[in-house]
Amino acid sequence: MEKIDAIRSILKKIYGEEHANLAFNKILKLIERFPFKQKTKGKNYFSHEDVILITYGDSLNKEGEVPLKTLYNFSDKYFKGIFSTIHILPFFPFSSDDGFSVEEFYSVNPGLGSWEDIKKLGTNFKLMFDLVLNHISSKSSWFNKYLDEKKGYEDLCIEVDPSTDLSNVVRPRSLPLLTKFKKNSGKAVHVWTTFSADQIDLNYKSHDVLEKMIEVLLFYVENGAKVIRLDAIAYLWKEIGTNCIHLSQAHDIVKLFRMVLDLIAPEVIIITETNVPHEENISYFGDGKNEAQMVYNFTLPPLLFYSFAIGDSKILSNWAKGLKLESSSNTFFNFTASHDGIGVRPLEGILPDKEISRLVEIVRRNGGYISFKKNPDGTENPYEMNISYVDAFINNEKKMGINRFLASQAIQFALPGVPAVYIHSILGSRNWREGVEHTNRHRTINREKLQIEEVLSQLINPESFRSRIFSSYMNLIKVRKGQRAFHPNASFEVLDIDAKIFAIVRYCNNQTIYSFTNISSKYVSLSLSGKGVPSDMKDLLTGKMFNTDSLVLNPYQYVWLGDTKL
Active site residue ranges: 231
Q: Which helix (H) or strand (E) holds 25?
A: helix 17-31
Q: Residue length, the chain?
A: 566
Q: Residues 6 or more apart from 377 whose CB is under 8 A from it? A: none
Kindly give, in sequence order, each residue whose CB lies less than 8 Å from that of residue 316, ignoring residues fewer than 6 positions away.
303, 304, 306, 307, 411, 502, 519
126 forms bridges with which residues in the sheet?
Answer: 85
Q: Which residues pair with 269 in a beta bridge?
A: 227
Helix (H) or strand (E) segment spanning residue 259:
helix 248-264
According to DSSP, residue 370 is labeled E
Q: What is the DSSP string of 106-134?
A: TS--TTT--HHHHHHHTTTSEEEEEE--S
Angle at 124 between CA 120 and CA 125, to 5 degrees: 100
Dihedral pair phi/psi, residue 149, rounded to 5°: 60, 40
The span from the CA of 286 to the CA of 193, in Å, is: 27
What type of residue is 9? S
Amino acid at 400: M
CA distance linking residue 138 with residue 198, whole number of Å: 5
Distance, CA of 100 to CA of 93 (rounded, Å):
10
- Pick the closest to residue 466 from 439, 440, 448, 481 (CA basis): 448
Closest to 125 in 3D by CA, of 196, 173, 63, 68:
68
Q: At what angle do helices 248-264 and 17-31 cross, to 10 degrees?
A: 30
Q: H helices within 415-492, ranges in order?
A: 423-426, 433-439, 452-459, 465-481
H helix runs in 114-195, sequence order: 115-121, 141-147
Q: What is the DSSP letter of 39?
A: P
Phi, psi angle pair for 338, to nearest 5°: -150, -170
Distance CA 459, CA 465 (A): 9
Phi then psi dihedrals of residue 63, to 5 deg? -60, 130
334/370 Cα distance (integer angstroms) = 23
Let me know: does 251 contact 286? Beta carbons within 8 Å: yes
Q: Are 153 and 184 in contact (CB under 8 A)?
A: no
CA–CA dist 307, 292 (Å, integer) = 29
Nearest to 5 by CA among 259, 213, 191: 259
| 101 three-class SS | coil
